[in-house]
Amino acid sequence: MSALHPLTNEELMEYAPSLFTNQPYHKASNKYHFIPTIEVINELRAHKWHPVNVQEAGVRNIEKIGYQRHLVRFRHLDDLINPQKMQLSFYCLTHTTEQRHSVSAQASTALPAPTVW
């Protein structure tokens, strides 16, 4: 996966099917409010942040397939259209559909290491 190529829903499904889970894990508490990750991704797309990389954890318990933790890395449309050599902006979303975890997000700007002359 290239950091300069926005991923389509088909590519997201191929690399991390748990993004498309549409109901909480059956042991989740009634107090747990489930939001499908793909809805969060679509909302970020509406604000010009596009997924460029995705990872999904493995599972030990086969009944948890589709409910594992996943990480989605986003880049802003401006960076995709006109990438700057000196700066890369990322927005990372980590989410799991289990009751003991939730969504966390982190924004960062990465500067490349200085070039030695």
Q: Is residue 65 part of a domain?
A: yes
Q: How many domains does the chain have?
A: 1
Give residue-wise pLDDT tens across range 59-105. Answer: 787 877 777 888 888 888 888 887 775 455 556 666 555 545 555 56
Q: Is residue 70 part of a domain?
A: yes
In which domain, by residue range, is 46 found?
9-110
DSSP assignment letter at 35: -
Give residue-wise pLDDT tens across range 12-49. Answer: 999 999 889 888 776 777 777 778 889 989 998 999 98
Q: Is residue 66 part of a domain?
A: yes
Give the Cβ contact number of residue 31 at 10 Å.
6
Q: Is residue 68 part of a domain?
A: yes
Please, are residues 1 and 56 in contact by the beta-carbon 8 Å criterion? Answer: no
Angle (nearest 5°) at CA 92 between 33 and 27 = 30
Q: Is residue 16 part of a domain?
A: yes
Q: Is residue 99 part of a domain?
A: yes
pLDDT of residue 36: 85
Q: Is residue 2 part of a domain?
A: no
Q: Is residue 4 part of a domain?
A: no
